[in-house]
Structure 1
Amino acid sequence: MPGHSAPSFADLGLPVVLVHALDKAGVRTPFPIQIAALPDALAGRDILGRAPTGSGKTLAFGLPLLVRLAGRRSEPGAPRGLVLAPTRELALQIHEVLDLHGAVFGLRTVAVVGGVPLERNVRDIQRGIDIVVATPGRLRDLLERRSITLRQVEMTVIDEADRMVDMGFLPQVEALLAATPADGQRLLFSATLDQDTDRLVEKFLTDPAEHSLAESVSEPDIVHYVFRVDAARKTEIAAAVANRDGRTLLFVRTTHAVDRLADECRRLGVPISSLHGNKTQAHRTRALAEFADGSSLALIATDVAARGVHVDDVTLVVHVDPPLDSKDYQHRAGRTARAGASGTVVTLATAEQLDLVCAMAEEAGVLPIVVDTDTDSTSWRQATGARTPSGRPTLAPSRTSGVDGGNRRSRGSRGSVPSRHERSGRTGGRRGERRGRRR
C-alpha cells in the first residue's frame, strides 16, 4: 500500500546473524527480485525467476541456499548445494558472494570451472564442500571421473538459463539436473524464457513460484548512440573513448581484435585490461579484478564478457565491432545501467554498416541517436567524455584485488553523460534524433 516502506532482509525471514553480516558488507536494502523470491525460496518452493541482468539475482538465490544448508556438514565428494552458471567469470563471481556470506554459517564453497587444474577441483571437493558453483562442462568432467556425486544435492540453482541454451549447454544442464535427487529444491533464473528454457522448467521444476520483474522493474536509464566513423579512424576514436574518466566496457568480435586494440591503446597511453576465451584463467581473473576495483577503468573483451561480467558502475558500453544480432546487442548493453543506475551505449559503424546497425538496434527496441564523427567533432566527445590519449605508452595494469559481489558497488568515477532532457535515445522505443543517417 502507498506509504508503506519496503521490507528489510529481516522482514523477509533471514536469520539475524546473516542480516548483520549483510549489513556489515554494506548490503542493507533488498532489491525487488530479492523481496519477491526470498520468502518462497526460504519456504522450500521451486522458483522460476525472470529478472533483467543486474537486478540482484545472486542474493535472491544465494541467501536461501545458505540458510537452508546451514547447521550441517557435507560428506566428502557429495555437496548439498549446486549452482550452474554459463561462464567461468559468472561462476567465480557467484562463488565469491556465496563464500563471503556463507562464512557466518561455516559453509564451504568451491568454484568448479575450466581453466583451473582438474586435480585442484578434485582435491577441494574431496575435502568436503557444501556448495559447488560450476560451469556445466567442468562439472560433467568431474562426474565422468566419479570425483563427485550429486545424489545428496538438496538445492540446485540454474542461473542465466537463457544463456545456457544460447551457448549450447542445454543437454549438459539436463543431464546434470537428472543426476540430482528428483525431490530436491530447484531455482531457475533467466532474463527471457523461450521454448528450450521452458523445457527445463517443465521437466525439472515442481509447481514453481513464478516471480517476473520484466514489467515491474523500471526501464533501464540508457542513452543509445550510433557513431558513424571512418574505418581508418576507428581505433583512434575507440582509444579516446576508452581514455574517459569512467568505467568503460568495449566489445570486439575476435580474440585477435582484442589483443590488437588493447596493444594499440597501451601504445597511446591508455591503461586498459583485456579479456577473451584464449586467455589463461589467471589472466581472466586478474583482468576482471582490475576492472572491478578501478585499477583499470577500461576493459576490452569479446562476447564472453557479455555473458559473464557482472560489475557495477559500468557507465559506458562501446560496440567497437557491431554485434551480430539484436540479442547480442541487448546482452552487451545490459552491462551498463545496472541496479537502477544510468548509462550510455555506443556503436561504432562505418558508412556501409550504418543502416544495418540502426535496423538491428530498432529490433532490440532502441532508436539510437546517430552522430557523424567526421562532421561533428564535439557531440561524440561530449556524449562519452572521450579524452585524447597522452601518447605515452603504458603497461597493462597489474593489481589483483577481489571482485565486488552482491549489492555492493565497485568504486570508480563516472564519465560525462547527457542530461535527462537530452536523453532521446533510451531503451524502450523512445524516438531519438537521427542525425547523420544516410540512406
Structure 2
Amino acid sequence: MTFADLGLPAVLVQALHRSGIEAPFPIQAATVPDALAGKDVLGRGPTGSGKTLAFGLPMLTTLAGGSSAPRRPRGLVLVPTRELAAQIEKALDEPALALGLRVASVVGGAPIKRQADRLARGVDLLIATPGRLEDLIAQRCADLSDVRITALDEADHMADMGFLPQVTKLLDRTPKDGQRLLFSATLDGEVDKLVKRYLRSPVTHSTAPPSASVSTMSHHLLYVRDKFDKRAVVAEIAAREGLTIMFVRTKHGADRLAKQLRGVGIATGALHGGKAQNNRTRTLAAFADGSTPVLVTTDVAARGIHVDGISLVVHVDPPAESKAYLHRAGRTARAGEDGVVVTLVSAEERAEVEKMTRKAGVDIVGVDVRPGDRKLAQITGARTPSGIALVAPAPPQQPARQGAATKRRSSGSGRRGGSAAADIDDPSGGWSPEGTPDASGRGGRRPSQGRSGARGAGAGSRRGGDGGARTGGRDSGSAQRSTGHADARATRSNGVRGEGSAPSSSRAPATATAGRGSGAASGHTAGAAHAARPTRSDTPGQGRRRAGRPQGSAAQGNRRAN
C-alpha cells in the first residue's frame, strides 16, 4: 500500500517522497482513511509507530484550500512537552508547505511575544502545549472558534502530568461539531473519560499491545553491588561508541551525572524540565548530530522524542512503573533498527524491578556485573573512559556591560530594563499586550520616548509627565529607594553605566538627568552638557551639583528628598 492509496493528495505524496517516506506504517494505513472521511479516530500504537503522520497528514489534507484569519487557527494539535511539539512541527512543515499551509508551535519557555506575533500573521495548523496556549488565549492573542479539526497526541502522558483540566478547557473552546483525533501509546483511566466526553462514535485502531516485545530490542537487568560500582559501571557504559540515552529520576540527578561523566572525559549533555528552552534545543541537537553522544535526561525525553540511531537506553534509576519503562525503552529500536535496553539494579531494588518488567511484558534474567567485566562489555559495548575531564558547554555569550545599550537597541529589545537574555530565558518573554498589566502591575510594552542622539542626554522624569528619555533600556527618571532616598537616575554615557542613586562612597556619573518635574528641554540640556565624561565624587550631592543643579520644581523635589 502507498500513501496515494490512502486518498492523500498527489502533491502531499510527492512531498513525502522527497523526504524519503515511501510507504505508510500500519497505524497510518489504518487511521488515515477514516480521518480523511471526517470520522473521530481513536488510535493506539507503540512509541515510534508513526502516530505523528497518522494524524498530521489527514489534518493538513482537511485544511488544504482554505486560509486562516489572524490569531484564529483552523487546526490544533495538543501535546505534553516542548520537544514533542518541535518534533511534530518539523515532521509536518514540508508537507504543509506543499499544500500552501502554515504550521507553527507555541510552547512554554520561549518568548510569548514572538509566538503572539506569529499567530497574528495567521497559522493554519497550531501545535501547542496546554499551558502556553491558555496564556495566549488569556491575552487575546489566540482564538479557537475556527478550529475544524483537533488532535491530542500522547494523551495518556498529558493525563499523567495533570494537564487534563487544561485540555478540557481548551477543547470546550473549539466548536462542538469539530472533528477530533486522539492518539496515544495506551488508552486507559482518565483518557477514557476524555474519549467519552469529546469523541463522537470514534473509530478505534490499535496496531500493537502496550508492551516492549519488539523483535529488534533486547532487554537486560544489570545487578550492581553498591553505589560505587554503579557509578563506575555507568561511566564505562557511557564511554561506548554510538548514541546512548541515560534516564534518571530527578533534575538534580541528571545535572550531577552529566557533570561526573564529563569529568572522566565523556561528552555528555543533560536534559530536563528545569532547563531553559534554548538550552534544551541545543542539547538535543548536539545529541542528534553525535557531537554529544551521551544524553542524561529525566522522563521529559521518554515520550515522543525521536532521534535516529540511539542504540542503547540505560535506566540508571529504574522507572517506577511499567508504562514509564515502555516509553523510555521506545527511544531505541525504532522503525526496525536494533537496540539494547539495560536497567541498573541495586540489591534492594531487585524484587520491585523484576515485577515491573514482567508487567511491561519483558521477562529478563538479570546478571551480576562489576566494573571492567567482559559480560558488561558484551551487552553494552562498555569500555574504560579516558579520564581527561571535559569542559562543560558554555552558555550563550551575553553582551558586555560596556556598550550593552547599543546592542540592545540594535536587537530590537525595547522593554524596560530588558536584555537579550530576557528574550531567551523568560517563559513569557517579559511581554504583555498593550493595556494588559504585567507581573509588576505596569502596562505592556511601550515604545521608547525622547531618545537622544548622543545616547547620554537626559530628559525629564516620565513620572513628571514630560516625556522621559529611555536610554539603554532604562527610564532616566527619578528612582525612589527603600531607604527613602530619592535621586535622579544616571544615564549611560560613553559606555559608563548609571546605577540609579549613587552610593555615598562611590562614583556619581555626571550625566544625571534633571530632577523630578523638570521639563524635557531643560533635562536634555543638562544631560548633554555633561555627557562627555564621568565625574568622581565623595557624596551623591557633589555628583548632582557637578551635573547641573535642578531647576524649578525639580530643585524643590530634591530638597524634600534629601
Q: Normalising by structure 2, what TM-score?
A: 0.67
CA deviation after TM superposition for structure 1 residue 312, in Å: 3.1
Structure 2: gaps spanning 5 or more residues: 397-562
CA deviation after TM superposition for structure 1 residue 355, in Å: 2.5
**Which letter maps to 1:121?**
Q
CA deviation after TM superposition for structure 1 residue 397, in Å: 6.5
CA deviation after TM superposition for structure 1 residue 142, in Å: 1.2
Contact 1:86/1:308 (CA < 8 Å) preserved in 2?
Answer: no
| Greater Cα offset, 21-30 or 211-220 | 211-220
Distance 2:314 2:267 in 1: 16
CA gap 1:226/1:331 in 2 versus in 1, 3 angstroms:
same
Distance 2:58 2:41 in 1: 11
Q: Which residue of 1 aligns with 2:290?
A: 294
Contact 1:371/1:380 (CA < 8 Å) preserved in 2?
Answer: no
Residues 18-57 of structure 1: pairs in structure 2 closer than 5 A: 18-57=12-51
Q: Deviations over 1:128-183 (max 9, x none)?
A: 11111001111111112221110000110000111111111111111111110111
The runs of at least 4 aligned residues of structure 1 exceeding 6 Å deviation read: none
Q: Which residue of 1 aligns with 2:204?
A: 210
Distance 1:375 1:262 in 2: 19
Q: Which residue of 2 aligns with 1:390?
A: 386
Residues 125-136 of structure 1: pairs in structure 2 closer than 5 A: 125-136=119-130
Q: Which residue of 2 aligns with 1:370?
A: 366
Distance 1:208 1:325 in 2: 29
Q: Whose RCO is larger (CA < 8 A, sep 6+)?
A: 1
Question: Which of these residues, 189, 195, 200, is aligned with residue 189 of structure 2?
Answer: 195
Contact 1:272/1:397 (CA < 8 Å) preserved in 2?
Answer: no
**Which letter maps to 2:199?**
L
Residues 69-148 of structure 1: pairs in structure 2 closer than 5 A: 69-148=63-142
Question: Which of these residues, 176, 183, 208, is aligned with residue 177 of structure 2?
Answer: 183
1:355 counterpart = 2:351: yes
CA gap 1:150/1:35 in 2 versus in 1, 3 angstroms:
same
SS at the partner of 1:322? coil
CA deviation after TM superposition for structure 1 residue 394, in Å: 2.6
CA gap 1:375/1:67 in 2 versus in 1, 3 angstroms:
closer
Contact 1:249/1:316 (CA < 8 Å) preserved in 2?
Answer: yes
Contact 2:213/2:361 (CA < 8 Å) preserved in 1?
Answer: no
Distance 1:102 1:20 in 2: 12
SS at the partner of 2:77? strand
Question: Which of these residues, 54, 59, 80, is aligned with residue 60 of structure 1?
Answer: 54
Contact 2:49/2:335 (CA < 8 Å) preserved in 1?
Answer: yes
Distance 2:24 2:377 in 1: 37
Aligned pairs, how many? 394
Distance 2:6 2:359 in 1: 39
CA deviation after TM superposition for structure 1 residue 215, in Å: 4.7
CA gap 1:216/1:269 in 2 versus in 1, 3 angstroms:
closer
Tell which structure's C-alpha radius of gyration is larger.
2
SS at the partner of 2:92? helix
Question: Which of these residues, 289, 306, 317, is aligned with residue 310 of structure 1?
Answer: 306
CA gap 1:280/1:216 in 2 versus in 1, 3 angstroms:
closer
Contact 2:233/2:371 (CA < 8 Å) preserved in 1?
Answer: no
CA deviation after TM superposition for structure 1 residue 365, in Å: 2.1
SS at the partner of 2:300? coil
Structure 1: gaps spanning 5 or more residues: 1-6, 401-439
Contact 1:47/1:188 (CA < 8 Å) preserved in 2?
Answer: yes
Question: Which of these residues, 216, 225, 228, is aligned with residue 232 of structure 1?
Answer: 228
Question: Which of these residues, 252, 268, 275, is aligned with residue 271 of structure 2?
Answer: 275
CA deviation after TM superposition for structure 1 residue 241, in Å: 1.1
| Greater Cα offset, 53-62 or 223-232 | 223-232
Q: Deviations over 1:250-302 (max 9, x none)?
A: 01111111111111111211112210111110011111112222222221101
Distance 2:193 2:344 in 1: 38
Distance 2:257 2:227 in 1: 14
| Greater Cα offset, 287-296 or 17-26 | 287-296
Q: Deviations over 1:86-145 (max 9, x none)?
A: 111111111111222211122111111000111111111111111110011111111122
Q: Deviations over 1:374-398 (max 9, x none)?
A: 3981111110111211112234569
SS at the partner of 2:244? strand
1:254 counterpart = 2:217: no
CA gap 1:317/1:170 in 2 versus in 1, 3 angstroms:
same
SS at the partner of 1:11? helix
**Which letter maps to 1:74?**
S
Q: Which residue of 2 aligns with 1:404?
A: none
Q: Which residue of 1 aligns with 2:239?
A: 243
Q: Deviations over 1:49-75 (max 9, x none)?
A: 011110001011111111111122100
**Which letter maps to 2:354?**
C
Distance 1:63 1:329 in 2: 29
Distance 1:98 1:174 in 2: 25
Q: Which residue of 1 aligns with 2:149?
A: 155
Contact 1:42/1:64 (CA < 8 Å) preserved in 2?
Answer: yes
Distance 1:194 1:121 in 2: 33
CA RMSD of aligned residues (A): 2.0
CA gap 1:295/1:357 in 2 versus in 1, 3 angstroms:
same
Distance 2:153 2:129 in 1: 10
CA deviation after TM superposition for structure 1 residue 310, in Å: 2.2
**Which letter maps to 1:378?**
R
Contact 1:226/1:370 (CA < 8 Å) preserved in 2?
Answer: yes
CA deviation after TM superposition for structure 1 residue 216, in Å: 11
CA deviation after TM superposition for structure 1 residue 332, in Å: 1.3
